[in-house]
């Protein structure tokens, strides 16, 4: 009898230790994710600051810096997460992150900004950017249709990125001196920053982004394994929302300053780079088959949100508007989509 009780206590003790190990492991994964997000947000801010200041010191016009350097830099969290995930053999996480970030940028970021402060769009430069985002979205869909993303597909996306960069440069050069986006970027691009300081902040931001991306990917993959959730879903939800926080912060601040072109331009530029750079880099490193859910739902939800953004940009009298009601609808649609994905996969 004594031996049975001792064995029972031993089993209970072992069970408690296993539970403690699992609990500590889960807390460690959550810490990695939270710390990764924090480092990505701060690192992105410093990377944008250093990159923009460096470009300005090189004599590049603010409008060109905004359309190219800043647009790429605000996608740096997604790009670094993509590289780390692909090197770890998890390109699906990067693909989910890119699609989810684009959806979050429009549904969560634009919806929240418009709900807080209605947006009025009068920038002709921004109107020229919108068809590029639509074309890039449709290109991505066409590459997804065979359910497999090869290195050739990745190279097509990266080649398209170069073409878009060149085209954005020409758009910036041709933009009118009275375009609101010019004054927006002129006000926001840092001045009086020495080249040495700019490069230091650029490197510090990059190093912080790398560390944050590594922690985030490690924690996200482990959480996905613990709960039996696919890496694509984790990328679409948890990682996408987290990596969209820099865009949310920039767009909210810009809207309250009345810099509406910058608020929306930040979203448009980030979405273009997410599809071309994030997915392009990931599948060039590690080609992958696509989960059926991406083709049957997620990519088309992203395109639907993109079409809504496109429609709001082209309204009557050459002025696009996103009012509070439209912002509420965007945000509600995004919350509904994320809730559906979460319920279906938990």
| Tens of pLDDT, residues 26-58 | 788 888 888 888 888 888 888 888 888 888 888
Q: Smallest Cα–Cα separation from 38: which of 236, 218, 216?
A: 216
- C-alpha 329/C-alpha 164 separation (Å) is 31
Token pair listed for 272:
């273009």
| pTM assigned to the model | 0.83
Homologous superfamily in CATH for domain 2-40+62-188+210-345: NCX, central ion-binding region (1.20.1420.30)
Is the pLDDT confidence value at 10 over 60?
no
Residue 309 banded pLDDT, cuts 50, 70, 90: confident
Q: What is the per-residue pLDDT for 149?
A: 92
State in Å, rounded, how far the first CA of the chain is from the last one.
43
- Tell me the pLDDT tens digit for each residue of 269-293: 889 988 999 999 999 999 999 888 8
Q: Where are the domains of the chain?
A: 2-40+62-188+210-345
Using a 10 angstrom Cβ sphere, with 0-12 exposed, 13-18 middle and 19 or more buried, the burial of residue 239 is buried
Q: What is the per-residue pLDDT for 227?
A: 78
Is the pLDDT confidence value at 100 over 70?
yes
Residue 7 banded pLDDT, cuts 50, 70, 90: very low
Say how many CA atoms lie within 13 Å of 224 toward its Cβ: 21
Eight-state DSSP code of residue 120:
E
- Tell me the pLDDT tens digit for each residue of 187-225: 777 888 899 998 999 899 889 988 988 888 888 888 887
Q: What is the per-residue pLDDT for 255?
A: 75
Say how many CA atoms lie within 13 Å of 328 toward its Cβ: 3
For all residues of the chain together, what is the average pLDDT? 82
């Amino acid at each position: 009898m004594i031996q049975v009780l001792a064995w029972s206590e031993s089993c209970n003790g072992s069970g408690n230790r296993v539970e403690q190990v699992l609990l500590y492991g889960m807390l460690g994964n959550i810490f990695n994710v939270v710390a990764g997000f924090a480092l990505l947000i701060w690192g992105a801010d410093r990377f944008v600051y250093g990159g923009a200041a460096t470009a300005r010191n090189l004599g590049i016009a603010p409008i060109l810096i905004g359309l190219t350097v800043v647009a790429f830099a605000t996608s740096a969290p997604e790009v670094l997460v993509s590289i780390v995930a692909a090197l770890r053999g998890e390109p699906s996480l990067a693909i989910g992150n890119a699609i989810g970030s684009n959806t979050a940028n429009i549904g969560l970021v634009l919806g929240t900004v418009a709900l807080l402060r209605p947006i009025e769009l009068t920038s002709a430069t921004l109107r020229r950017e919108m068809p590029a985002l639509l074309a890039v979205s449709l290109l991505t869909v066409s590459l997804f249709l065979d359910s497999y993303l090869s290195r050739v597909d990745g190279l097509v996306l990266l080649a398209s990125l170069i073409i878009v960069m060149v085209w954005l440069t020409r758009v910036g050069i041709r933009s009118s001196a009275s375009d609101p986006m010019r004054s927006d970027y002129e006000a926001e691009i840092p001045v009086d920053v020495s080249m040495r300081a700019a490069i230091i902040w650029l490197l510090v931001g990059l190093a912080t982004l790398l560390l944050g991306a590594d922690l985030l990917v490690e924690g996200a993959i482990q959480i996905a394994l613990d709960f039996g959730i696919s890496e694509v879903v984790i990328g679409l939800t948890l990682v996408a929302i987290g990596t969209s926080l820099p865009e949310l912060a920039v767009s909210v601040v810009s809207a309250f300053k009345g810099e509406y072109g910058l608020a929306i331009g930040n979203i448009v530029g980030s979405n273009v780079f997410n599809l071309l750079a994030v997915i392009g880099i990931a599948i060039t490193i590690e080609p992958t088959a696509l989960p059926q859910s991406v083709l049957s739902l997620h990519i088309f939800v992203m395109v639907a949100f993109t079409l809504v953004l496109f429609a709001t940009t082209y309204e009557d009298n050459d002025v696009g508007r996103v009012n509070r009601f439209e912002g509420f609808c965007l945000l509600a649609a995004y919350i509904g989509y994320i809730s559906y994905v979460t319920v279906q996969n938990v």
